[in-house]
Amino acid sequence: MIPTMAIATTASYVASGPATIQLIHDLVEVVESSQSLSSNGKTLPTHAGFGVRFEVNSIGKNDDEEGHVMDLNCRVDLLSINLTSDDTIEPPHPAPAVHVHAELWKQDENNFQSYLFGHTEEDNRLRSIEVDASWNQEEWNASVILNDASYLGHMDWDAPIPGRIVLNQDTILEGAVECLDAFLAKYSLEIDNQPVEAFFEGMHISNLM
């Protein structure tokens, strides 16, 4: 786990250049005044990151209407500043970088989340699918996460989050491919809709399919 510190500062109503310098100055002062953290066994932050995060309006979400929904948000890391005097310390999150997170789920007629297929008491079920993708100057990573997923009743109850199945470049947990195939087989019998098509097109672009 990487120790982090969240610090909020407000700049004066001045030009962007001086305002940015002021924010950095305030941030460094807060870090320097928090030396008591190290005495509690915690490590002080070594870098300050600056970026922007935004969300896109959900695709397919309509009140009082059943259907698939895709949520999408993005974080762009613009700059990382070393807060120490040691230039050899690498930032925990290299910048610039882009992080994209998307989730496909299904809404029932009462505006509550339901299952993409099956339900909570069925042996074959899948509640939602998430995709995490990130790029920086050195590498890119992507993973697919199946939530409350089960195939033929198999679920690892000793896992940190039972029913959460991860699929990435290095790991394919048991049941991941089977659950995806079951969902796609069910969806193939339905009329094409924008949220599902957009979600799987993103998976294809990320080389996850």
CB atoms within 10 A of CB 60: 20
Pick left, alpha or beta for residue 19 (phi over 0 → left; psi -120 to 50 → alpha; otherwise beta). Answer: alpha
Is the CB of residue 150 less than 8 Å from the CB of residue 163? yes
**How many Å apart are CA 91 and CA 46, to the nearest integer?**
7
| 123 contacts: CB under 8 Å, gap ≥ 6 | 150, 151, 152, 153
Query: 64, 167, 179, 47: which is closest to 110 by C-alpha?
Result: 64
Instruction: Write out the DSSP string of 68-132.
Output: EEEEEEEEEEEEEEE-SS-TTPPPSS-SSEEEEEEEEEEE-TTS-EE-SBS-TTSSSBB-EEEEE
User: Exposure string (b/e) for 151-178, b if CB count within 10 Å is 16 or more?
Assistant: beeebeeeeeeebbbbbeeeeebebbeb
For the entire predicted model, the pTM comes to 0.71
Q: What is the pLDDT along the chain (209 residues), one digit of tens a residue?
A: 444 555 445 545 555 556 666 666 666 666 656 555 555 566 777 888 888 999 888 888 777 678 889 999 999 999 888 877 778 888 888 889 999 999 999 998 888 889 998 888 888 899 999 999 998 888 888 888 999 998 888 777 887 888 888 887 777 667 778 888 888 888 887 777 888 888 888 777 666 66
- Domains in the chain: boundaries: 1-45, 49-205
Is the CB of residue 91 less than 8 Å from the CB of residue 50? no
